[in-house]
Each structure stands twice: as structure tokens, then as C-alpha cells.
Structure 1
Amino acid sequence: MAEFLAEMQERLLPEYEQLKKFEVCTDEQIRECIRKRDSLQLKITQKGKSVRDYADFILFERKVHKWVTEKERFHGNKLTGLKSSIASRIIRLYRDGLRAFPHEERFWDNFINFSKKSAPQEVSGIYEKMLTFYGDKPRVWCDAALWIYEYSSNIKKVKEIFFRALQRHPDSEEIYKTFFDTLLLSAIKMSTQKNAISSDEKIIRLEQVLIVYKNSKKIIQNINFFLSLLERCESEKFLNITTPLQKVIIDDLMTNFPRNEILWDTLAQRELRGYNMSDLNNSMDIKDNAVDGEQQSKDIEKTENFDNDQNLFQKRSLKRRIELCCNVYQTAVRTLETTNMWTKYINAMLKLNQDMSAEKVLKRKCLAIAFKEGHASRLMSVDHYCTYVQMLLESPTGVPIAEQTLMDALKIHKSIKLYELLLSTYIVADNEPKAYETFRTANDELGAQKCVSLWRSLIQFYKTHYNDCGKQLQKLFKEACQEASPDFGEFRCNYLDFCILNFSMQKTRSEYDKLCLLPPPCRELHQKMAALESQTVAKNQADMDRWRLCYVNAVFYFGKTNTQVWIDFIKFEREHGEPKNVSTLYDRAKNTLETELVDNFISEYTLLTHII
């Protein structure tokens, strides 16, 4: 081993001399470099070596390579030989590491990324070796084919890679998409070269794209896959040369997925972007019944007559595009009659109304039509009803329409959101009878537990109208306190505040005693009463006993599962009550709390005693 390291150092002497000559490293840095390399080399020659050892060695060599590059840039001279020597050593390390650990995918990826910059001619071979281990991953096949096309534009080799990939993964959407895209890129490259050979090649490429599409159609049945191909054809650089292909894809989509909401949404959005179907038909002069392969090939040949910069779609005004888009959506909702289709239609109109810099009146009109027709269809979603009503409420004349719309909607959707909107509408209008009626209806239909927000809103309304609705408020509070859902605990606390503000402390204490007996127990109730007791001006024994009772009740109901109730009780006795009770409470807490909570309680108690 020592002889091997000595031999390696000897081979590296010219490199160290260059590092010194070109002032990349100082003498001290060179000595450190020698020591570091010896250490790293020793690690990768041992039996227990790991991929991490190779990665560390490569990381160090890349660091040295960066030093050389920075010095080269600083002085403006070329250190090609020195950089090449380091790069070759890095590549050897990658190769050695992958021979030892061939199943480290990230190591392969790092090797390829490095080689693309330092030895691009080797990358294809690396991909071939990688495919022997990772041929089960479509991504690797696609990356290999794309690199070959990018580096050499050898379309024949690219197709060979894709054919092999499809033999291994015949139903891979990723491979078909990448193959489709690569052939399109090749076709557009041919179209930029103005000669007869290139024109013929372009037609061949487009025919091959069509073949790839037709083959994928036989295996893949996912609409999103075909929509992604159509979207790729709409790319600016492909738009005109793929016109017949777009028509073929759309015809197939209409045949195979005629009742899919995503398709109709896509067609409507194409109209909004200016890709009109009549333009597509007219530019290709395709008859409705001409969809066989021979006709498709003829259609593709027609693209050679068009300049790639010529726009085959007419330029239409924004107003016309919006109208055409809405026409498609309206056809869609009449054809499908589904909630999902109406949702897509209305969402599109809402999005259109986010930009009001142009055609403001038309956009608002289209949105209004969508809402009105959606409501009439009884297929509009709850969220869209909420949006629609909010817009109506913004208009002074829209309030009655909003109320009627909500009442109609509630016949379709028994939704808390709709009840909240209707209740808030009556509250804003100070219509207490209607508000209470809505509140009662919602509770009857949905159950009180789902209507907590309605209880909260109506209680707040009664608070702000206490002079007229004081009795209703007290009655509502008492009713809320009787509810067995834990979500209603907040109303018990609020009721104590109501009592202390409007009645006496005696009345508040009496109500608190009653509330303590109601299920389920509420810890916040005892905290609230303790806070109210702390505000009592007179601190006689009776008052102190009442104050202490709050903590007694808290530990009675929650002493097993909550450490904080004991800490609060102890703090009360130390600061306001009888300090001699603290040790008794401490022992009671340890004996009462569940076993897993005792250590936590002791820690909190210790911290408390240090603070005090």
C-alpha cells in the first residue's frame, strides 16, 4: 500500500509543480493537498470502503479544479492541461466508484452531470451503462435520448433509444411524451432550414410524430396525457406546423372523452387564447369524415406550404375570444349537466374578472350570466353560491335577490356556509325575527353542533341590541349552556361575563354552580370564574372560599389528566390563600395525576418554586 501511494505521488509531481508555477496553491496548500489525497486514496482502497468515501474524494478533486478555474479566470491565461488532468482523475474516481457501487443512482446522475461539462463525448456511453442497472426507470431512458439529441442531433440514434425504452415500458406516458416532444423539436429544426431536403425531412418528422401519437393512443387511456400533447402543440414554436396534429388530437378526444369536463374546459380555454376550431378546420381544409391515416398524412404534408412564422389562426379581438369561450362553456353545461362542469365554467369566468383592464362590462356580464344560469340549473356549488351572494350584497338593489337566492340554494344544499350568509344578511338589515327564524331552521336541519358559528353570530347581534333583546340574549345563553358539545364551552364562559355585567356577583356565582353540574365539564369555565372572583374588592373569608372553590372544581374534574389545574391551584394558595396547603396539594397531585404526567408536573412545580 505504501508503494502504491508513493507511486501515485510520483505521478502527480508534474501537477503539483504546475499548481505552484501558476500560483494556484502555496507550498503549504500543496503539502496539505498531498496529505489529503493520500488519506482519501487510502480509504477507497480498504475493504470497508463506501460510496461516501468516493464522494468525498471527488468533492476534494472538484474543489481543486475550482481553484484552477478561478486562477485561470483571474489571470486570463489557459490552464487546460492542468484542468484536464484533474478532470480525468475525477472521471476515474466516478468509474471506480460505480464499479464498486453500481446501484447508487445519485452517483450515476452526478457522474453524468460532471461529464456533460468535462467529457461530453463520453456521456452517451455512461447512459448505456446506467441503463443496464436502471432500465426499469423511464426517466433514465428519456434523459439518455434527450442528451443524444442535444449533443449530436442524431435522430436515428434517438429513435433507437426510444424504441428500446418502449419495448421495456410499453405504457409509459413519460416516454411517449418525451419521444413526441423530441420529434417535434427535430421537425421545427428542419423547418428553419430553407431547402428541399429539409422540407421533406420536416414532413417525415411530422408523420413520425403522428405515428407516435397513434401508437400511444392504442395503449394509454388517460385524458390528461393527450391534453398534455395538445398543450405541447400549442407552444409558440410548434403552433403552426402542428395544426393538422392538433385537429387529429381534438377529434380523438371528442370521440373518446365526450363527457369529460376537463376536455370541454380545455376547448373553451383554447378559444380564449385565440385557437379557434373553425380556423383549425379551415386552415387544413379537413372534412368532418376524413380522419383515416392516409388523410392525416396528407394533411401533414400541407404544412410545408406554410411559413413557420405565419399564424394560421385568425387574430380576434378580446371581446370575440371571450364570446367564443363562453359559447363553448354554455354548450358544455347543456351537454354534460354536472356540478363539476358548472364549477369549471364559473371558475373560468371568475378568473376572467380578475383583470378588469379591458372589456370590463362584457366580463361582468358573462360572470352574471354564468351565476344566473348556474343557479337555475340547481347544479351550482356552495362556494359559488357564497361568491354570487357576496357580489349581490355589494349592490343596494341586490339584497332582496341575495336573500331569495340563498333561500333557493338552501333547498338544494343544506350547508352551514349558506346559513351563515343568510343569517349575516338579516343581521346587517337588523331583521331580528328573520335572523332568529334562520337560526332555528339551521339548528333543526343541521344540528346545534354544526351551527356553533350561528350561535356566536346571533349572540353577538343580541349583545349589540341588548336594550331590545336582553331577554332573548339571556334565554339564548342558557340554551347554549345546556348543549352537550364541547364546542359550546365558550358560551358558558361568555354567560358568566354576561351575568357579572348585568347582574350581581351572587347571581353569577349561582349560575356558575349550576353550570358546573352540566356535562361535559369545561376547564375554561373554572378559569373564567376564578378570574371574576379575583376582581372582588372585598376579600373576606367567604369570598376567599368562593375563589378557592373554582380551583377545587377544576382539580375535581380535570385533576387526573391536566397538570396545569394543579399548578394554578398551588399558585393561588401561595399568593392569595394558605401557603401551608401547598405541600398537601403537591402530594395530592402526584397521587391523582396519571402516571405519565407526574414527571412533567414535578418539573413544572420545581420551576414554579424557583420563580416564586
Structure 2
Amino acid sequence: MAEFVDRRLERGLGELEQMVHAGLFTSDELKSIVAKRQKLEYNVQRYEKSVEDHLKYVKYEMSLLELTKLRRKRLGYDYKFNEIEGSIGKRCQLRLMRAETKYPNDMEVWRTHIQLCKLLRWNPAASQVYTRMLQLHSDKPEIWIEASDFELSENGSPDSARDLCLKALRWHPKNHELWLHHLSVELSIATKVFQRGDILGIDASHLVKDDDPITGGKVCMAVAENAIKNIDSVDFAGSLYECVLRARKQDKLPEGFWKPLANFILSKMEEKYGDTPEYWKRRAALVLVGLDEPTEYEMIKAEEEAFQIMNSAVERLPSESMWHAYMDFLSELFGRQQFTLHPEWLELSRKRSIKAFEVFEQAETKGFVQFRHYISWASLLNDRRRTKEAEAVLKKAASVCPDELEAYMKLIVAFSSLAGDQSGTITELINAARKKLPRNDPGVWKQLLDWTIHFQPSKVEEVFREAMQQSMAIRSQVALQYVTWAYSTDLSSGRKIYKTVRDIPGAFSESLVKFAIAQEKKNSAPIASLRKMFDDALSFVGKDSVDLWIEYIRTELTYEGGDPLASGKLVSKAQKTLRPEFLTLFTTMNNLLMANLTK
């Protein structure tokens, strides 16, 4: 092995001599580099080598290349690239090609090779690496996208980028990201043509010609049309439109190019999805996508256009699902960024609210308002300080509330946000939830107890007793919640309820006793009381709870009135009580405890 290592080190002497001769490194630094290389070579040459050994070797050489680049810049030395960087790069390439053969499924090897090529600006070599990688990993769309992006933006080869997109789509014809990337590649190619014309002093509008497939938008239209045909999704079709608008904004595409393309996508969307409510909702939302830092007036105008689209949609499709889409669109509109960032846009808020109330009322006369719409409607009314109307709408929501925990949570939160005393209504809702919600769900009982603690403190014990008749999982969870609430009221209540809960089958748990002991310590309980709590708890879970034994020992050693001598007896008792599989863990944790306490 030593002979192979020495031979490989000798091959790198030429570049090291050039580094010293150019003043990039000192003799001492050279010795350090040789020592490091020797260590890495031994790792690579050993019998049981791993992919990490190859990667460490290459990454060290790459860091050396980075340092060489900085030293060159500082000294202004721009010679001997082939003799120094070229020599290091070729050696690393050979190492990585061996690793690619031996570990073809390790993506870090491939990516490190590409990083090396980019560092040395060996773009043709990087293209070859991508080609080999795709031959083995053609099932990964993200690699196709990465390779295509490299060809377009770094290698300056738009034709190769397009070819990669087309090949990728043969493998993955239903992949959303690939179709979007293909469209963005074609838009970038068109952008480069317009930018070239700008450099030559040719106005971009003169380059938009119907007979030119690139600047005339025919290629982009073909990509968008095929994407919509292959992928059956309104949202995806809308994302194609958004892709065009982003390119228009970033690359300043001429209106004669991007606008016909955007309209073409919209026409294809309507042709395929025009009879679905999802299309019209997405179509109305797209009106607001292309606004760049709009004023309040521009937002009002854009939303009026969106409302016109939805109005025509409900006339064309007067179905219940269409009205649902209209109400959902209005509800989502109030959460849009332009609105939340500009609360001072009062006129916009007023017009939105008027339209929303109008649509909700029309839908209600047709019997199309569902629970979620009532909640949104009430929220809008409450925001406008129309509390009585909001309360009336929420009562309608309560009448159609589905038997689901989330629905009751939304309803109770909505009533809680109203001004005035809503405790009576909320109490009725809690009682209804107790009757209607599934009784075998721990989450339901947790929420019921939360509501009862907050709104009906006098009923907490009743709900708790009812929960104790349920499954073991529910008992354990509710018991901890009940004791937590009891200790938050006063210490005596906490102690009383803890003792009650502790003796209920299935209610006792390690987390319960840990919480109770922590509360007692916080209130400076006597050590005798804590010992009693530990002993009672360990009689239940002493065979399995390493944490509880360690906490008991810690308490004897650190708590006021504790007996350090008793800790040794506790260790012996724990070793006799714990199951054999927990003894190693207990010994380790006990040793750590002693080490920490002796510091």
C-alpha cells in the first residue's frame, strides 16, 4: 500500500513545485499539504474504504483550489493554470469517476463531481457528468431540471437545455415541475433573442413576428398546450399562466409576445375546464396575479374585473358548487397579501365587504351556504363591528354544524371573538359537542376538558368522571390535563385531585407523577411528602421507569432535607426492581448524574 501511496504523491509534486515557485504557498504550507494528502491517500487505498474516503479526498483538493484562487487574486498571478489547477482537477476527476463506478447510487458523488467542474469552469466536463448521471438516474425529474438549467444558464447552450426537457418529458409526461421548467426554458430562450436585439439597437416589438416560432411565441404555445393536455389540473394550468407573468416581470418581455401567450393559455384552460367551478375561481384569482405593487385604485379595478368573471360564471353555471366556489374565492380574498399589508386601504375593504355580503346573502336565499361559509360571513361581519348580525349568522352556522371536532372548535372560537357575553351560547355548544362528537377519540376529550375549564369550571369534575369511563388512552391524557388544571387553581386542590386520579385504573402515568412532583417541589413541599409520592409511583411503574428512579435519587441528593446516604440504597433497590433490559441505561444515567453533581 505504501508503494502505491508514494507513487500517487509523486505525481502531484509538479503542481506543488509550481505553487511554491509562484509564491502561492510557503515551504511549511507545502509540507502540511503533503502530509494531509498522504493521510487521505492511505484512507483511499485501504482494503475497507468507503465513499466518504473518496469524497474527503476530493473535497480537500477542492478547498485547496479555492485557496489557490484567493492567493492568485491577492498576488495578481494569472499563469500556470494547467500546471496547477488543471493537474489537481484531472486527478480529482479520475478519483470521482472511480467513485461513480463503484457507488453509482450515491448522489453526493455525482454532485461533488459537478461542483468540481463548475469550480474549474470545465463546463463540457460538467455536461458529460450530467449525461452519465441521467443514464443511471433518469427516474429523478429534479436531475433533469438541474441539468437543463445548467445547460441554459451556465453552459450557454439553449438547444441542449431544450433537448434535455424533451427527453425528460418522455420519461415523466405527467410531472408538473418538468412542464413548468420546459416552459420557463422556452421563455428564457425567447428572452435571450430579445436581449440580443436590444444590444443591436432593434426594438423588441419589431422582433415579434408570426413567422418566427420563438419570438412569435409559437414554441411556448405548443409547450403550454401539450402541458394542459397531459396534466389534468386547473391549478397546474393556472401555474403556466403565472409562469408567463413572472417571466414578463423579470425579463421585461414585450407585450406583443407575452400577452398573446397568456391569452392562449387562458383560452385553452376555458376550453378544457370551462364547465367546472374550479376553473372560474382560478380564472378570477389570476386577474390579481399580475399586479406589481398596485395602488389601492388598481386593486379595486382588478377585483372588480375578478367579480365580473365570477358573476358571469354563476350565470353560466348556476349550480351549488359554483356558488360555493364564489364564496370561497371571496373568503380567500381577505387573506391575500395586498390586503393584509395595507390595512389603510379602507375603500378597498369597504367594496370587498359589500360584495361579499351581497354574494353570501344571494347564496343563502338559494340555500347554498355551508358551514364554512357561515363562519367566513360571520368573521367579516364581526370585523365590520356588526356584532348582532355576526351572532345571527353564527347561530345559523350552529344549526348546520357537522359532527366534527374542528367544526365545533371554529364555532366556539367565532362566538368567543364576538363582543358581549356569549357564555350561554358557548355552553350550549359544549353540551352539544359532548353528545354528538365521537367518544373514543382522545383529542375530543382533551378539547372538551379545555372548553369546560375555560367556560364551565363548575362542570370540570363531571366531564372528568365521564372521561374516566372511556378507554385507557383517554383516561391517561385527561387525568394529566385535570391535575394540571387543579394545581393551577390552588395547591390543596391539586394534591386532592392528584390522589383521586392516582388510584383510578388506567389514569396513572409517569408523566402525571413527574408533573405533580415538580409542582410540589415548586411549592417547597417537605421531603417526606415527596418520598411518599415517589414510592407510590414506583410501586406502579418501578420496573420500567428509569427516569423516575433517577429523579428520586437526584431529589435525595439535591433537595432540602434529602438524605445523600439514602441515594445508595435507592440505586440498589432500582437495580433489583428494574427489568434487565433497563439496567445498562440506568447505570449510565446514574453515572452521568453523579458526574454532573460533583462538578
Residue 354 of structure 1: CA displacement? 0.9
In the alignment, is the contact (CA less than 8 A) between 1:526 and 1:554 conserved in 2? no
The residue number in structure 2 matching 1:228 is 239
For 2:156 and 2:515, locate their aligned partners in 1 and report how far apart those are by CA, in whole Å.
Answer: 76
In the alignment, is the contact (CA less than 8 A) between 1:350 and 1:367 conserved in 2? no
Residue 346 of structure 1: CA displacement? 0.8
1:355 to 316, 330, 341: 341
For 2:278 and 2:11, locate their aligned partners in 1 and report how far apart those are by CA, in whole Å.
Answer: 68
In the alignment, is the contact (CA less than 8 A) between 1:349 and 1:370 conserved in 2? no
Residue 96 of structure 1: CA displacement? 1.9
- For residue 353 of structure 1, give the secondary structure of its aligned residue in structure 2: helix
Equivalent residue letter for 1:444: K
For each residue in 1:29-67, what CA deviation from the matched residue of structure 2 results, as whole angstroms up to 9, or x when unmatched? 334444555665677678876655554443344344334
> Structure 1 residues 477, 8: closer, same or farther in 2, change over 3 A?
closer
Segment drifting more, 347-356 vs 444-453: 444-453
TM-score (norm 2): 0.69
Structure 1: unaligned runs, 5 residues or longer: 276-314, 464-472
In the alignment, is the contact (CA less than 8 A) between 2:538 and 2:548 conserved in 1? yes
Equivalent residue letter for 2:285: Q
Equivalent residue letter for 1:203: D
The residue number in structure 2 matching 1:210 is 221
Segment drifting more, 407-416 vs 576-585: 576-585
Segment drifting more, 370-379 vs 238-247: 370-379
The residue number in structure 2 matching 1:283 is none
2:389 to 401, 406, 417: 401
Equivalent residue letter for 2:212: I
For 1:223 and 1:130, locate their aligned partners in 2 and report how far apart those are by CA, in whole Å.
Answer: 34
The residue number in structure 1 matching 2:81 is 83
For 1:338 and 1:527, locate their aligned partners in 2 and report how far apart those are by CA, in whole Å.
Answer: 51
1:96 to 87, 94, 104: 94
The residue number in structure 2 matching 1:446 is 437
Equivalent residue letter for 2:334: M
- For residue 416 of structure 1, give the secondary structure of its aligned residue in structure 2: helix
Equivalent residue letter for 1:404: A
For 2:276 and 2:301, locate their aligned partners in 1 and report how far apart those are by CA, in whole Å.
Answer: 25
For 1:16 and 1:536, locate their aligned partners in 2 and report how far apart those are by CA, in whole Å.
Answer: 70
Equivalent residue letter for 1:180: L
Matches within 5 A, 1:192-591: 192=195, 193=197, 194=202, 203-205=212-214, 206-234=217-245, 235-236=247-248, 237-238=252-253, 240=255, 241-258=257-274, 263-273=279-289, 317-329=298-310, 336-337=321-322, 342-351=327-336, 352-356=338-342, 359-367=345-353, 369-370=355-356, 373-374=359-360, 376=364, 379-380=369-370, 382=372, 389=378, 392-393=381-382, 398-414=386-402, 415-421=407-413, 424=416, 429-430=420-421, 434=425, 436-446=427-437, 450=444, 453=447, 456-457=450-451, 473=458, 477-478=461-462, 480-481=464-465, 483-484=467-468, 485-486=474-475, 487-489=477-479, 490-491=481-482, 520-522=506-508
> Structure 1 residues 149, 528: closer, same or farther in 2, change over 3 A?
closer
Residue 227 of structure 1: CA displacement? 2.8
In the alignment, is the contact (CA less than 8 A) between 1:374 and 1:380 conserved in 2? no
The residue number in structure 2 matching 1:20 is 20
TM-score (norm 1): 0.68
For 2:386 and 2:42, locate their aligned partners in 1 and report how far apart those are by CA, in whole Å.
Answer: 83
Residue 323 of structure 1: CA displacement? 1.5
The residue number in structure 2 matching 1:308 is none
Equivalent residue letter for 2:301: R
Equivalent residue letter for 2:286: R
Equivalent residue letter for 1:409: A
For 1:522 and 1:164, locate their aligned partners in 2 and report how far apart those are by CA, in whole Å.
Answer: 62
Equivalent residue letter for 1:403: E
> Structure 1 residues 605, 130: closer, same or farther in 2, change over 3 A?
closer
What's the RMSD between the two structures over aligned residues?
5.4
The residue number in structure 2 matching 1:29 is 29
Residue 251 of structure 1: CA displacement? 1.7
For each residue in 1:279-319, what CA deviation from the matched residue of structure 2 results, as whole angstroms up to 9, or x when unmatched? xxxxxxxxxxxxxxxxxxxxxxxxxxxxxxxxxxxx98332
1:191 to 2:174 alignment: no
Percent of residue pairs identical: 18
Residue 187 of structure 1: CA displacement? 2.2
- For residue 350 of structure 1, give the secondary structure of its aligned residue in structure 2: coil
For 2:5 and 2:574, locate their aligned partners in 1 and report how far apart those are by CA, in whole Å.
Answer: 72
- For residue 118 of structure 1, give the secondary structure of its aligned residue in structure 2: coil
For 1:409 and 1:167, locate their aligned partners in 2 and report how far apart those are by CA, in whole Å.
Answer: 50
Residue 226 of structure 1: CA displacement? 3.0
Task: Provide the aligned length of Structure 1 versus Structure 2.
Answer: 546
> Structure 1 residues 246, 559: closer, same or farther in 2, change over 3 A?
same
Equivalent residue letter for 1:346: S
Largest Rg, 1 or 2 = 1
> Structure 1 residues 204, 529: closer, same or farther in 2, change over 3 A?
closer
For 1:198 and 1:379, locate their aligned partners in 2 and report how far apart those are by CA, in whole Å.
Answer: 52
For 1:119 and 1:526, locate their aligned partners in 2 and report how far apart those are by CA, in whole Å.
Answer: 62
